[in-house]
Structure 1
Amino acid sequence: MRVFIIHNFYQHAGGEDVVFRQEVAELSKHHDVHIFTRENKRGLKGMMQFLTYPFNFFVSRKIAAAAREFKPDVVHIHNLHYAIGPWFIRPLAKMGIPIVQTLHNFRLLCPSASLFFRGSIFTASLDEDFPWTAVRLGALDGSILKTFLTGFTYWVHRKLGTWDRISRFIVLSTFAKSMFQKSSFPAPSGKFAVRPNALDAYPRQEKRTDRFLYIGRLSEEKGIAPLLAAFADLPFTIEVYGTGPLQDFVEAMSKQNGRIHYHGFQPPEVLSLAISKASALIVPSICYEGMPMTVIEAFAQGTPVLASNIGILAEMVVPLHTGMHFDPFDQSHIRATVTAWADLGSEAKKGIAENCIAAYKRHYTLEKNMDRLVAIYEEAIHTKKRQAQ
């Protein structure tokens, strides 16, 4: 199969970039793969990229030319924001090429992409034809202009029927599918295929410690601030890995409290080892996550997960089977959950660890994930052929 994969890198690397690289590497083992990428820039060049976001004819021509030369059986889109934009979908569809798009976030529904704003879940855009509420509030980076242009980009392509040209939308969970289905986004249920993220990992079988672990971006929506505030009153140790806008806060908390250990940014092998030794991974997000790779890695290592009881996390983590849930907006509930986990017996923890490994093998192995991806490609190709008859 000839697969043309398109991806836009953010200025700061994220989970979407990991998934893109992983899929390219795996598909290339058995298929002919061609990629087209762009990267968001800073300064004047970045401003020009953003201003051409809705109608980037220059990039569109380049992608169309590459498609004519490569002659793909299917096109797979990951991220379009913002140096690529959606315009290229139209000429590729005119060529009769089936197009699949992975929806790593909720940007097609709201400029915020995360459905998070000012410390809480933000869903006003789901019922609006144009996201005026998000624009008025500056839901994207606190900027009315950036929010408007992003909202306009996806709104105008709704009106132009650009998204109708996508053969399949890949979502990471049934929760994500339900969010799109109950929104104003004009796509039938049959166009959505649920396919979780995956990881090629194995249990390290390291000796467990009694320490808790946080790995992720140090930002408001990830819930790191209330988590550490809760831990300040607990007799347990937490190891924190990551960088972000709240790094100064985390460093200050680490200096004030000897049980909060901050390690900054670390390579994947260090993080994997930390996960394998932890008593539990804590994911305190107060936004709707896509599908955290750290949770999948934890399951692969047999490390239980204590997670927020919202969004995909409520779906991935099963209480007292693969971990526990807590209310991320309630520090007392965070403390109670951490304490309850620490007090759980060793046999119960061992059983939960075994359940985590079983969940990984059942849902998140790379082999099963890639088989599902190829099946989605084949469905899209078959549907396109049937429509052409």
Structure 2
Amino acid sequence: MSWVTGADGSPYGVTNLPYGVFRRGGQEPRIGVRIGDFVLDLAGAEAADLVLAAGALGRPTLNDFMALGRPQWTAVRQRVTELLTDSAHRSAVEPLLVPLREVELLLPFDVADYVDFYSSEHHAGNVGQIFRPGQPALLPNWKHVPIGYHGRAGTVVVSGTPVVRPCGQRATPQGPTTGASVRLDIEAEVGFVVGVPSQLGSRVSVADFADHVFGVVLVNDWSARDIQAWEYQPLGPFLGKSFATSVSAWVTPLDALADAFVPAPDQDPPVQPYLHDTPHVGLDLTLAVEWNGERVSEPPFATMYWTPAQQLAHLTVNGASLRTGDLYASGTVSGPERSQVGSFLELTWGGAEAVKFAGGETRTFLEDGDTVTITATAPGPDGTTIALGEVTGTILPAR
């Protein structure tokens, strides 16, 4: 139980406590943790010796704190929980609570690198049927190796940042042309933020996942399907993806998701030894996608074929090093039903079946002015529900 007004019963109660970076008025960016509809100013708390983190909470991003490692992450979380539940601390802590409505939320960490995977069998199967009709839905390597691509860290933006419609080359019946994308899409994903780095030339084991990964964010990997379709062979996604990737402003620590780990789907054929994770677990997250305020899909993350630990092991198996602030995303989260898909490519089956809104409008792909919001919940301890920070964006016309 928390003494903070409105925290008990909130999906942002003391069982959650996600981290973010905020600015109030003309102040410099400050690290905070969300409790109910307030932000606890952790920079102020550390300055007042209420929390100890070697000065890392006084920085303008989470990177220095994330680099401290799991023992420090756990100690700070325990201390913050104590401050927000023991009324003996109320007089010292209450002045450090800032109403959420009064702050601007910023990108919570400096993104060092960005990698995106392709880990949903349902999504990969749907895309295979749409792009390669009459051929096997999955390519021969898909169940042997977690497929991914290297994205652009510099175009990762915080939730709420408008997204400008990208331009590029696309195919037409008359031949290639250059112009604004006309098949602009979303990808509802879950991202994992690396705190502790690794050495170049060394591998990170699946067993070391929790020692390196600080927390989880929601991701919208915006996708220009027409640009992507023209460019992706033979080297994969490039300009159809790199124009913008949105992430939530709150990073949910792994400790908050301890009750959300569930058995992952069986893998057949057996995976390579470096991908063998015991226990073989994923996360029981339920995503929701809203298109102009109407819920159109609820993708289930628990159905993902490749687990977050396997993704981490794979992206380092060649000796590539991790850096503090690395972000790797799951790839589009899709379940077996049309109402559970994480992209509009699947929802409209390649644009062939328009979505009808309550007001009478129809859509196949995103139009200028459209807004997409992705939210997610997870089970918490003692029957509580935890919310991940939402990720939202509005499409602006091409420039």
TM-score (norm. length: structure 1): 0.31
Between 1 and 2, higher relative CO (CA 8 Å, sep ≥ 6) is seen in: 2
Q: Which has the higher helix share?
A: 1
TM-score (norm. length: structure 2): 0.30
Q: Which has the higher strand share?
A: 2
